A and B are shown apart, each in its own frame.
Chain A
Amino acid sequence: MSLDRRGLLLGAGGLLLGGCDRLSQSKPFQGFLDAGEGLTSRVQRLIIPRDALAPEFSAAEMSPVFRTNGNSMPASPAYAQLLAGNFANWSLVVDGLVTRPLALSLEQIRGLPARTQITRHDCVEGWSAIGQWTGVPLALLLKAAGLRSEARYIVFHCADDFGGTPYYESIDLIDAFHPQTILAWGMNGRPLEVGHGAPLRLRVERQLGYKQAKYVMRVEAVDRLSRIGRGKGGYWEDVAGYQWYAGI
């Protein structure tokens, strides 16, 4: 009896799954999903003012525990060496479609004008945590390097990888020049910890967690994303199909 019922349930499940699978594979349905995704990001860009700030919070509202997510220790020997040397030999490269490529030490970056903000981090999975971030506005570095007119996107190359596939992320120039978009070297009043992306990570506060690239080593200005990784603009976008525009 219970076996029959189970068989029936599994059978019905198979039908449902079959239906969903067929839908997922159908071209018109994919077109419908693409149209929805395009509409969502365009409408958001349309109704959210360019410089609208993500909500900022008071110190009292900070999460007592800010969990780490994704990689919490890059596996590469090169990173291990940099960490062992307290990042004294580390440098951030800013290059690509710029007129004056930069290579900055951590000390130099900490010496630049900084912005401190207490913001909410929203993971794509659904949880949120509030933390304080201190870092150099990305706009400042991009202005120093001098973006060439062909530049459309800013790509962040990271020191960590998932099974050999390097982590990377990208944003457009609207978010790159947003006042809250910073390369953070400090968190909650202390130097950024390894679990949270030491020595430098991206904060792009109007988007989801997977855009907040940790262990940033190189900032590259590009005219298109198709040449990097599998061409979708980020590690999770490439391997799992997450939206490149992660404002939703």
Chain B
Amino acid sequence: MATSAAELSGSAPPAEPLKGGDTVYRHRLSTRLWHWINAVAITFMLGSGLMIFNAHPRLYWGAAGANADHPWLEIGATRTSGYLRVGRVKLDTTGLLGRSRGFDGQERTYAFPDWAAAPGVYDLAGGRRWHFAFAWLLVIPGLAFWLFSFANGHFRRDLRLTGSELRPANLWHDVKQHARLRFPTGAAARDYNVLQKLSYVALIFVFLPLMVLTGLAMSPGMDAGWPWLLTLLGGRQSARSLHFIVAMAILGFIVVHLLMVLLAGPINEVRSMITGRYKLPEDQR
């Protein structure tokens, strides 16, 4: 069973057959460092990003958009309730979005509540300062990780998706296994499974670069320097909308990622991301 899974994932069979309980070296130093720097950077980016969003909680498509224009998404409030409106759908979100309690217990009409936004009580200037400083912590280590991972073969060895992996039957099989919370064991657990690979590839090559590009496209200075960015993204307000959508996608990734760590054995998983060493799960049966 272990060998068939290894064949499916397209990796060469190990010289000595691995079995459940064996410890393997799974994550290189560059991967581990980048992972933890990212954990910090993205947490602060998300918090301060929500703070910035709170200053004008409406999203538009196109080059421009202000209060008189039609937003496709809006987090708003009446005197007593909060709501989220996406297109024609309007949801009551009192207590969470639009109107919520601050740290002092007082109700306030901010799009995202105090606890979600950084640095805390509404402070747009502070949020911007945090956002742009942590952006460097996202971009510089991110570029270094890219370089290292191309150079040391991490991308090619661990993240390359093969044709057989991407076959619908195999994808569906993996989805079903995940839904049943049946994770690979023994030698098969050494490599990332196809859903893992897909989500990591999406994060590294699609979401994070899009995050940076849509962020740059909101800078009036960069719009003068790199006007092609606006053409590519469909205007400044479209870039702002995409920036928000991709941020929510990354938040979704993080939630699922953390859930998977919890379900797959948090101590073993977290240890492997600190020391690099990962103990292959024993076969259940």
> What is A's interface to B at a CB cutoff of 8 Å?
6, 9-10, 12-14, 16-17, 20-21, 23-24, 32-33, 35-37, 39-40, 44, 47-49, 52-55, 57, 61, 63-67, 120, 122-130, 205-208, 236, 240-243, 246-248
Contact = CB atoms under 8 A, between A and B. Distances in A.
Contacts of A54: 220, 223-224
Contact of A20 (B53, B55, B120, B230): B120
A44 B219 contact: yes
B121 A127 contact: no
A20 B119 contact: yes
A210 to B, nearest CB: 10
A13 B115 CA distance: 5
A124 B55 contact: yes
Contact of B236 (A52, A124, A128, A205): A128
Given A17-B103, A247-B220, A248-B219, A242 B65 contact: no
A20 B55 CA distance: 19
Interface of B: 52-53, 55-56, 58, 63-69, 101-103, 105, 114-115, 118-121, 124-126, 128-130, 132-136, 218-225, 227, 230, 236-237, 240
Contact of A48 (B103, B120, B225, B240): B225
B221 A248 contact: yes
B63 A127 contact: no
B181 to A, nearest CB: 28
Contact of A10 (B101, B136, B230): B101
Given A33-B129, A242-B128, A10 B224 contact: no
Contacts of A49: 225
B224 A24 contact: no
Given A17-B121, A65-B68, A130-B63, A48 B129 contact: no
Contact of A6 (B101, B119, B240): B101
A41 to B, nearest CB: 9
A126 B224 contact: no
A122 B119 CA distance: 23
24 contacts: A12-B115, A17-B103, A21-B119, A24-B119, A24-B126, A36-B129, A36-B135, A37-B133, A40-B136, A44-B221, A44-B222, A48-B222, A48-B225, A61-B64, A65-B69, A120-B63, A124-B124, A124-B128, A125-B55, A126-B55, A240-B124, A241-B129, A243-B128, A247-B220
Contacts of A40: 132, 135-136
Nearest to A43: B136
Contact of A241 (B68, B69, B115, B125): B125
A65 B220 contact: no
